[in-house]
A = this chain, B = another copy of it.
Amino acid sequence: MEPDRGIYFDHVAAAPLLPEVVDAMIPFLKEDFGNPSSMHALGERCEEAIEQARLQTARLIHAGDPGEIVFTSCGTEANNFALKGIPLAYRDRGSHIIVSPVEHFSIMHAIRTLEKTGFQVTQLSVDRFGCVDPEEVERSITPQTVLVSIMHGNNEVGTLQPIAEIGKITREKGVLLHTDAVATVGNIPVDVEALRVDLMSLTANSFHGPKGAAALYVRKGVRVQPLLDGGIQEKGRRAGTENVPAIVGMGVAAEAAMGEMENRTRHIRALRDRLQEGLLERVPQVYALGHPTERLPNILSIAVEFVEGESMLLFLDMEGIRIASGSACISRSLKVSHVMLAMGIDAALAQGSLLFSLGKDNRVEEVDRVVEALPPIVQRLRDMSPLYRKAKQAGKT
A233 within 8 A of B: yes
A194 within 8 A of B: no
Q: Mark A200-240, 1 if CB is under 8 A from B, else 0.
A: 00000100001110000000000001011111110000011
Contact status A105-B231, CB under 8 Å: yes
Q: How far is the CA of A33 from the CA of B322 in the complex (A)?
A: 13
Q: How far is the CA of A206 from the CA of B79 in the complex (A)?
A: 29
- Which residues of chain B have C-beta atoms less than 8 A from A35's C-beta? 10, 13-14, 328
In chain B, what residue has the closest Cβ to A74?
B240
Q: Determine which residue in A76, A212, A327 has the highest number of CB atoms from chain B within 10 A of its CB, and name it.
A: A212
Q: Mark A236-249, 1 if CB is under 8 A from B, else 0.
A: 00011111111000
Stretch at the interface among A109-117, A339-347, A366-374: A109-117
Stretch at the interface among A36-44, A135-143, A185-193: A36-44
A75 within 8 A of B: yes
Stretch at the interface among A1-9, A375-383, A386-394: A1-9
Contact status A205-B41, CB under 8 Å: no
- Given A29-B210, A74-B243, A231-B105, answer yes or no on A39-B80 (Cβ-Cβ < 8 Å): no
Q: Determine which residue in A22, A25, A228 has the highest number of CB atoms from chain B within 10 A of its CB, and name it.
A: A228
Contact status A240-B310, CB under 8 Å: no
- Given A13-B35, A74-B73, answer yes or no on A244-B22 (Cβ-Cβ < 8 Å): no
Contact status A22-B29, CB under 8 Å: yes
A396 within 8 A of B: no
- Given A17-B30, A29-B210, A230-B109, answer yes or no on A77-B240 (Cβ-Cβ < 8 Å): yes
Contact status B329-A232, CB under 8 Å: yes
Q: How far is the CA of A271 from the CA of B229 in the complex (A)?
A: 35
A259 within 8 A of B: no
- Which residues of chain B have C-beta atoms less than 8 A from A317's C-beta? 39-41
Q: Determine which residue in A31, A210, A230 has the highest number of CB atoms from chain B within 10 A of its CB, and name it.
A: A230
Stoichiometry, copies per complex: 2
Bin the interface of chain A by size.
Answer: 35 or more
Contact status B40-A105, CB under 8 Å: no
Q: How far is the CA of A25 from the CA of B37 in the complex (A)?
A: 24
The residue from B14, B17, B79, B314 contacting A230, defined by CB atoms under 8 A apart:
B79
Contact status A43-B243, CB under 8 Å: no
Shortest Cβ distance from residue A363 to the other chain B in the assembled complex, whole angstroms? 18
Q: How far is the CA of A35 from the CA of B15 in the complex (A)?
A: 9
Stretch at the interface among A92-100, A126-134, A297-305, A330-338: A330-338
Contact status B2-A39, CB under 8 Å: no
Contact status A3-B16, CB under 8 Å: no
In chain B, what residue has the closest Cβ to A25?
B29
Contact status B232-A80, CB under 8 Å: no
Q: How far is the CA of A107 from the CA of B240 in the complex (A)?
A: 12
Contact status B241-A38, CB under 8 Å: no
Contact status A241-B329, CB under 8 Å: yes
Contact status A74-B17, CB under 8 Å: no
A34 within 8 A of B: yes
- Which residues of chain B have C-beta atoms less than 8 A from A34's C-beta? 10, 13-14, 322
A45 within 8 A of B: yes
In chain B, what residue has the closest Cβ to A104?
B230
Q: Mark A69-89, 1 if CB is under 8 A from B, else 0.
A: 000011111011000000000
Q: How far is the CA of A105 from the CA of B13 in the complex (A)?
A: 34
- Given A38-B10, A242-B211, answer yes or no on A231-B324 (Cβ-Cβ < 8 Å): no
Name the 3 nearest CB pairs between A and B, nearest first. Answer: A231-B329, A106-B230, A73-B73
6 more A-B contacts (CB under 8 A) besides A80-B229, A106-B239? Answer: A39-B310, A39-B324, A109-B239, A210-B245, A212-B243, A231-B328
